[in-house]
């Protein structure tokens, strides 16, 4: 019998069990439950409940049924797992047989009775009555083996989570991760804001956007590629000195262990602060996340041991590139095409120096263990950061380097409207030449800058940091990753 035929047979059998429940006067999908305790509460207070012979009602999914003579041991799960004991003699033959004849692993049930301890010392509930809360029509995969096929795991993530204990822990840690960041910023007087997800001009990053059409206004719009960078800077201009947003962003680019097309990112901006003072804050933030979410500063990431508690390194972009390629990234006449060709590193013909140097850099990046900060990136690679006072050919930007990847980026934010307009013009030249990742000029943002934006530090980091600390891919770290329909 094929899998589909077997599934239909099982489903038909379970539909028949619903009819049997109806004949016995029991609903298969009632609206309410009379639960008095969660399973964890029941187990925590078991001794007192047993001593006082207090009536208890539990509710949960049936995870296993073990028959022993005229009795059943049933494990139920509501986020915690507990054992229930059903006896034919105490329940009565009709009620007991209705349970054995209609309840399957996967069903959600309500059970009522008294706390007791088995001969083996297992805290349990001795069931005096039961009700069906939700009859499952499809069989659960084996609890011990779960779902092995990765595509199937993602498609039926709800079953993957149900059957894989650590995934529940990961979801809890994911929630804690973002809330630790939120609490950290709120405790420092940052204001949480929401900025537009639909934009007429994308800004704040170099990425290819998703496009859609706004019917009411009859215009094309883009899904944002950053968590409101240019909008948050407008708020600095408006007189709000500390703002942040934790939100979803969208980039219509390739997929990899470190890249997803829709993901969560935090960005925050603080007036009257620069990137050097920002580094101190970021070290503290990352260590705080590590301590409060994981209780450790040491992680194994991509097979590399990374200790966030040790002194963070400083890496000089131009020095590293010259060491590797014997070319100066600050020399805009350097032949990066030849350097990439010689090493068989693929690139698009006609690409500008911005894209060529970035491709070359990705090879060097892999060698940096971190934790550390990459600094002294050429101006042409960052349209939104201030030029360095020490060397105006580079910008005041840092990137957090961990295990050969970039895990967060911060600037001294560019607040000179004339300089910003010139850099936007260069980005438009790149777009005209076919670079779809170059930034779109935003004339309205430049106009806002002309009213005066204070010096500021800005920083952003995505859920890539969470996936790295978890030791899994970004896709695996997401609760419901995007899939192509079957």
CATH, residue 83:
2.40.50.140
User: In the structure, what pLDDT confidence band is assigned to residue 70 with cuts at 50, 70 and 90?
Assistant: confident
Instruction: Mark whether 164 and 216 lie in a shared domain.
Output: yes
Give per-residue pLDDT as tens, 111-120. 999 999 998 9
Instruction: Mark whether 123 and 208 lie in a shared domain.
Output: no
Residue 442 lies in a domain: yes
- Quick one: pLDDT at residue 153? 87
Instruction: Mark whether 305 and 189 lie in a shared domain.
Output: yes
**Prediction pTM value:** 0.91
CA 372/CA 148 separation, integer angstroms: 37
Residue of 343, 369, 354 whose CA lies nearest to 468: 369
* 3-state SS, one letter per residue, for 26-46: CCCCCCCCCCCCCHHHHHHCH
CA 98/CA 266 separation, integer angstroms: 53
Radius of gyration for the alpha carbons in the chain, expressed in angstroms and rounded:
29
Instruction: Mark whether 164 and 122 lie in a shared domain.
Output: no
Residue 482 lies in a domain: no
Q: Which domain holds residue 232?
A: 160-312+370-477
Cα distances from 91 to residues 101, 147, 172, 485, in angstroms, run 14, 36, 38, 47
Residue 486 lies in a domain: no
Per DSSP, 388 falls in state P
Give per-residue pLDDT as tens, 375-424. 999 999 999 999 999 999 999 999 999 999 999 999 999 999 999 999 99
User: In the structure, what pLDDT confidence band is assigned to residue 486 with cuts at 50, 70 and 90?
Assistant: confident
Mean local confidence (pLDDT), 23-34 = 96
- Count how many domains the chain has: 2
Instruction: Mark whether 116 and 14 lie in a shared domain.
Output: yes
Token pair in block for residue 209 = 């956007």
CA 377/CA 318 separation, integer angstroms: 7
Given 90, 111, 140, the domain boundary residue is 140
Residue of 233, 198, 190, 254 whose CA lies nearest to 455: 233
pLDDT over threshold 60, residue 144: no
Instruction: Mark whether 120 and 196 lie in a shared domain.
Output: no
CATH, residue 448:
3.30.930.10
Residue 382 lies in a domain: yes
CA 285/CA 431 separation, integer angstroms: 36
Instruction: Mark whether 43 and 124 lie in a shared domain.
Output: yes
CA 301/CA 370 separation, integer angstroms: 11
Mean local confidence (pLDDT), 5-22 = 94
Instruction: Mark whether 76 and 19 lie in a shared domain.
Output: yes
Residue 341 lies in a domain: no
Instruction: Mark whether 11 and 125 lie in a shared domain.
Output: yes
Give per-residue pLDDT as tens, 297-347. 999 999 999 999 999 999 999 999 999 999 999 998 899 999 999 999 999
CA 382/CA 374 separation, integer angstroms: 13
Q: Where are the beta strands (DSSP E) in 251-307?
A: 262-271, 298-301, 304-307
Instruction: Mark whether 26 and 96 lie in a shared domain.
Output: yes
Q: How many residues does the chain have?
A: 486
Give per-residue pLDDT as tens, 420-463. 999 999 899 888 888 888 899 999 999 999 999 999 999 999 99
Residue 350 lies in a domain: no
Given 106, 140, 174, the domain boundary residue is 140
Residue 376 lies in a domain: yes
Given 112, 140, 168, the domain boundary residue is 140
**Burial (CB count within 10 angstroms: exposed 0-12, middle 13-18, buried 19+), residue 484:** exposed
pLDDT over threshold 70, residue 146: no
Instruction: Mark whether 170 and 44 lie in a shared domain.
Output: no
β-partners of residue 267 are 245, 460
Q: Would you say 361 and 339 are in contact if contact means Cβ atoms under 8 Å apart?
A: no
Q: Would you say 213 and 219 are in contact if contact means Cβ atoms under 8 Å apart?
A: yes
Residue 347 lies in a domain: no
Residue of 204, 421, 184 whose CA lies nearest to 284: 184
Token pair in block for residue 86 = 């059903």
Please tell me whether residue 314 adopts helix, strand or coil conformation. strand
Instruction: Mark whether 178 and 96 lie in a shared domain.
Output: no
Paired sense of beta strands 394-395 and 108-117, if any: unpaired
List, in order, residues 6 or more apart from 112 with CB less than 8 Å away. 34, 55, 56, 57, 58, 127, 128, 129, 130
User: How many Å separate Cα 350 from the centre of its chain?
Assistant: 36
Instruction: Judge if the upstream peptide bond of residue 42 is cis by omega within 30 degrees of 0.
Output: no
Q: Would you say 263 and 463 are in contact if contact means Cβ atoms under 8 Å apart?
A: yes
Annotate 161-199 with DSSP letters as a single string. HHH-HHHHHHHHHHHHHHHHHHHHHHTTTPEE----SEE
User: In the structure, what pLDDT confidence band is assigned to residue 206 with cuts at 50, 70 and 90?
Assistant: confident
């Amino acid at each position: 019998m094929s899998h589909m035929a077997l599934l239909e047979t099982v489903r038909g059998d379970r539909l028949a069990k619903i009819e049997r429940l109806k004949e016995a006067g029991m609903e298969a999908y009632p609206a309410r439950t009379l639960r008095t305790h969660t399973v964890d509460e029941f187990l925590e207070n078991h001794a007192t409940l047993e001593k006082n012979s207090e009536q208890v009602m539990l509710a949960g999914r049936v995870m296993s049924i073990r028959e022993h003579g005229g009795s059943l041991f049933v494990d139920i799960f509501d986020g915690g797992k507990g054992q229930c004991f059903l006896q034919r003699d105490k329940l009565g033959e009709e009620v007991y047989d209705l349970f054995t004849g209609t309840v399957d692993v996967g069903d959600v049930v309500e059970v009522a009775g008294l706390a007791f301890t088995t001969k083996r010392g297992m805290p349990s509930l001795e069931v005096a009555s039961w009700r069906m809360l939700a009859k499952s029509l499809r069989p659960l995969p084996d609890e011990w083996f779960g779902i092995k096929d990765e595509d199937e795991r993602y498609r039926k993530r709800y079953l993957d989570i149900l059957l894989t204990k650590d995934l529940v822990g990961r979801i809890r840690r994911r929630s804690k991760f973002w809330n630790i960041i939120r609490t950290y910023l709120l405790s420092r007087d940052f204001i949480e804001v929401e900025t537009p997800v639909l934009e007429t001009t994308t800004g704040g990053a170099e990425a290819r956007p998703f496009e859609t059409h706004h019917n009411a206004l009859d215009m094309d719009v883009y899904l944002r590629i950053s968590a409101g960078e240019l909008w948050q800077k407008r708020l600095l201009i408006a007189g709000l000195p500390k703002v942040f947003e934790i939100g979803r962003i969208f980039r219509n680019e390739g997929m990899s262990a470190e890249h997803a097309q829709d993901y969560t990112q935090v960005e925050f901006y603080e007036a009257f602060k620069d990137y050097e003072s920002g580094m101190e804050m970021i070290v503290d933030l990352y260590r705080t996340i590590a301590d409060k979410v994981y209780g450790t500063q040491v992680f194994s990431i991509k097979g590399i041991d990374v200790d966030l508690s040790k002194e963070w390194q400083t890496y000089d972009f131009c020095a590293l590139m010259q060491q590797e390629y014997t070319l100066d990234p600050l020399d805009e006449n350097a032949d990066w095409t030849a350097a990439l060709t010689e090493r068989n590193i693929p690139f698009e013909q006609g690409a500008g120096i911005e894209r060529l140097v970035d491709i070359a850099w990705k090879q060097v990046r892999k060698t940096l263990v971190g934790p550390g900060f990459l600094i002294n990136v050429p101006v042409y690679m960052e349209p939104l950061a201030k030029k360095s006072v020490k060397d105006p050919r580079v910008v005041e930007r840092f990137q957090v380097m961990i295990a050969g990847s970039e895990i967060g980026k911060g600037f001294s934010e560019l607040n000179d409207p004339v300089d910003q307009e010139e850099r936007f013009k260069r980005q438009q030249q790149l777009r005209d030449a076919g670079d779809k990742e170059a930034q779109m000029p935003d004339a309205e943002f430049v106009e806002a800058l002309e009213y005066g934006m204070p010096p500021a530090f800005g920083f952003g980091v995505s859920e890539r940091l969470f996936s790295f600390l978890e030791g899994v891919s970004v896709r695996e770290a997401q609760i419901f990753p995007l899939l192509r329909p079957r």
